[in-house]
Structure 1
Amino acid sequence: MIELKQLTKIYGSKKKMTTALSGLNLKVNKGEIFGVIGHSGAGKSTLIRCINLLERPSQGEVWVGGTDLTKLGKRELQQHRRKIGMIFQHFNLLSSATVYDNVAFPLTLTGTPKAQIQAKVNELLALVGLEEHRGKYPAQLSGGQKQRVGIARALASDPDVLLCDEATSALDPQTTDSILKLLLDINRKFNLTILLITHEMHVIQSICDRVAVIHEGGIVEEGPVTEVFLKPRHFVTREFINRDAAGSAGEEGLKLAASVPHPEWARLVKITFLGAKTYESVLSQVVRETGVNFAILQGTISTIKDVPYGKLTVSFEGDDEKVGRTLALLRERDLDVEVIG
């Protein structure tokens, strides 16, 4: 659905050039929710603005729905942009227009008949839960309501792709969760391809299928969210995970667990469970079979989108052979096992 090939964006003149994106490659499949996470200045806002050519790339190709947008003339590009919806961090609503008129605005620009506009706007206001606010102005709305107007407006032209530029970073946590749930519902109802950029790991963990980590204008890590979140390879990815509230708590718990006195022969192990195994008695079954003693020093259970996962820090006590067999049996049951001390 979206494919970026060797995407490069350079600002400035020859004397003072800034490279925002450098030979970036990325592919987003139809119907998935794809997240791009990065620190401020990493290039993520430039990336999303290049996809609909609000920023024209210095080099490279931008393919959306089988068409290279960089090869289109002005009129053709305008037509293709109608199939790319976009929502913004600061809403970008028309302050002097009502909720109804803000949602209707893209259809008004294209000369859509009034009856069709009315039917479409009514449908979208119901979808985002704003039927009772149709006559209000943006100043009368909460931040979450404003973003719902922005989402409805972005859907007015029946887009194939929805781009989200830090869509929840101006919202409180509770409102963020409600907006993320709405985006997930929209994705499932319309099979809409959603690409969102964020600096919040919680956003990625909540609704994304796959994620790419952007750093200094390039993609440094990419894959399914479960894989990237549970087995981060790049230091930037680990920073995001550790900074997240649950991740930080886990790191502190891990440090505390490592500091707890335990016998010299004990093995300190981190075990990661994914999916249904999170709630199965795998650990107790294995230690009964091998006869080792164990103590759970720290543990968490959470979800990545709809997939449960758990992390345990365990101290195993016993001779090397029995402990080694225990770890081998845990791995045979598709658990991720890492000896940390």
Structure 2
Amino acid sequence: MIELKQITKIYGNKKKRTTALSGLNLKVEKGEIFGVIGHSGAGKSTLIRCINLLERPSEGEVWVGGIELTGLGKRELQQQRRKIGMIFQHFNLLSSATVYDNVAFPLTLIGTPKNQIRKKVDELLSLVGLEDHRSKYPAQLSGGQKQRVGIARALASDPDVLLCDEATSALDPQTTDSILKLLLDINRRFGLTILLITHEMHVIQSICDRVAVIHEGGIVEEGPVTEVFLKPQHTVTREFINRDASGAEGEEGLRLAASVPRPTWAKLVRITFLGAKTYESVLSQVVRETGVHFAILQGTISTIKDVPYGKLTVSFEGDSGQVEQTLALLKERELDVEVIG
């Protein structure tokens, strides 16, 4: 649905040039929710604005729905942009227009008949839960309500793609979760392709199918969220995961646990459970079989989108052969086992 080929974006002139994106390649499949995460200044906003050519790349090709946007004239590009909705961090609503008129605005611009506009806006306000706020102005709305207006407006032209530019970063955690649930519902209900950029791993973990990590204008890691989240390869990816509050506390807890004196034959192991195995008694079954003693030093259970996962940091104590047998049996049961000390 979306494909970026060798995208480079350079700002400035010969005397002072800043490269925001450098030879970036990215592919988003139809109907998926794809997340791009990166630090401030990594190139996230430039990337998303290049997709609808609000920023024209210095080099490379932008393809959306099988059409190369970078090769289109002005009129053809305007037509294709109607198939790409966009929601913004700071909402970008018309302050002097009502909720109804904000949602109707894209349709008014293209001369849609009033009766069709009324029908469409009514449907969208119902979808985002704002049917009782149609006559209010943006100043009378909460941040979450403003973003719901932004989402309804972005959907007014029946787009195939929805771009989300830090759509939840101005919201509190509870409101963020409600907006993410709404985006997930829209994706499932309409099969809409959603690409969102964020600096929050929680957003990626909650609704995305795949994720790309952007750093210094390039993609440094990419893959299914479960794979990238549970087995991060790049330093930047690990930073994002460990920056999460629970991750920071977990790292400190692990450091303290590792400092406790243990027998020389003990092994410190991180075990990752995914899916239904998260709730199965795999560990207790295996240690009963091998006779190894163990202590759980740290543990978490959570979800990645709809998939449960668990992480345990365990100290195994016993005969070295028995410990190795324990690790082998855990791996046979399709658990991810990593010796960390």
Give the TM interval when normalised to the shorter protein: over 0.9
Aligned 1:36-75 pairs, distance under 5 A: 36-75=36-75
8 Å contact from structure 1 (residues 257, 313) kept in 2: no
Q: Which amino acid aligns with 1:150?
A: G
1:113-156 superposed Cα distances (whole Å, 9 cap, x missing partner): 10000000000000000000000000000000000000000000
* Inter-partner Cα distance in structure 2 for 1:10 and 1:83: 27
* Inter-partner Cα distance in structure 1 for 2:277 and 2:301: 12
Give the match for residue 199 of structure 2: 199
Please, which moves more after superposition, 115-124 or 241-250?
241-250
Q: Which amino acid aligns with 1:147?
A: Q
Q: Are 1:331 and 2:331 counterparts?
A: yes
* Inter-partner Cα distance in structure 1 for 2:143 and 2:174: 11
Q: Which amino acid aligns with 2:213?
A: V
Give the match for residue 28 of structure 1: 28
Q: Which amino acid aligns with 1:31?
A: G
Give the match for residue 243 of structure 2: 243
Give the match for residue 311 of structure 2: 311
* Inter-partner Cα distance in structure 1 for 2:185 and 2:97: 27
* Inter-partner Cα distance in structure 1 for 2:65 and 2:151: 21
Q: Which amino acid aligns with 1:265?
A: W
Q: Which amino acid aligns with 2:123?
A: E
Give the match for residue 9 of structure 1: 9
Local SS of the residue matching 2:14: coil
Give the match for residue 229 of structure 1: 229
Give the match for residue 279 of structure 1: 279
* Inter-partner Cα distance in structure 2 for 1:146 and 1:340: 47
Give the match for residue 137 of structure 1: 137
Give the match for residue 256 of structure 2: 256
Please, which moves more after superposition, 168-177 or 242-251?
242-251
1:210-246 superposed Cα distances (whole Å, 9 cap, x missing partner): 0000000000000000000000010000000000122
Instruction: Provide structure 2 residue ranges, at least 5 long, that are not aligned to the other structure.
Output: none
Aligned 1:96-111 pairs, distance under 5 A: 96-111=96-111
Q: Which amino acid aligns with 1:100?
A: Y
Local SS of the residue matching 2:168: coil
Local SS of the residue matching 2:195: strand
Instruction: Provide structure 1 residue ranges, at least 5 long, that are not aligned to the other structure.
Output: none
Give the match for residue 148 of structure 2: 148
Give the match for residue 187 of structure 1: 187
Give the match for residue 218 of structure 1: 218
Local SS of the residue matching 1:152: helix
TM-score by length of 2: 0.99
1:303-322 superposed Cα distances (whole Å, 9 cap, x missing partner): 11001110101111111110
Q: Which amino acid aligns with 2:124?
A: L
After TM superposition, give the deviation of residue 88 of structure 1 in Å.
0.1
Q: Which amino acid aligns with 1:287?
A: V
Local SS of the residue matching 1:94: coil
Local SS of the residue matching 1:264: coil
After TM superposition, give the deviation of residue 253 of structure 1 in Å.
2.2
Local SS of the residue matching 1:10: strand
After TM superposition, give the deviation of residue 249 of structure 1 in Å.
2.3
Q: Are 1:95 and 2:105 counterparts?
A: no
Q: Which amino acid aligns with 1:159?
A: P
Local SS of the residue matching 1:254: helix
Q: Which amino acid aligns with 2:74?
A: K
After TM superposition, give the deviation of residue 272 of structure 1 in Å.
0.6
Q: Work out the percentage of aligned pairs sharing the same amino acid.
A: 89
RMSD between superposed Cα atoms in Å: 0.6
8 Å contact from structure 1 (residues 270, 340) kept in 2: yes
8 Å contact from structure 1 (residues 32, 194) kept in 2: yes
8 Å contact from structure 1 (residues 9, 20) kept in 2: yes
Give the match for residue 126 of structure 2: 126
After TM superposition, give the deviation of residue 247 of structure 1 in Å.
1.8
Q: Are 1:158 and 2:158 counterparts?
A: yes
After TM superposition, give the deviation of residue 292 of structure 1 in Å.
0.7
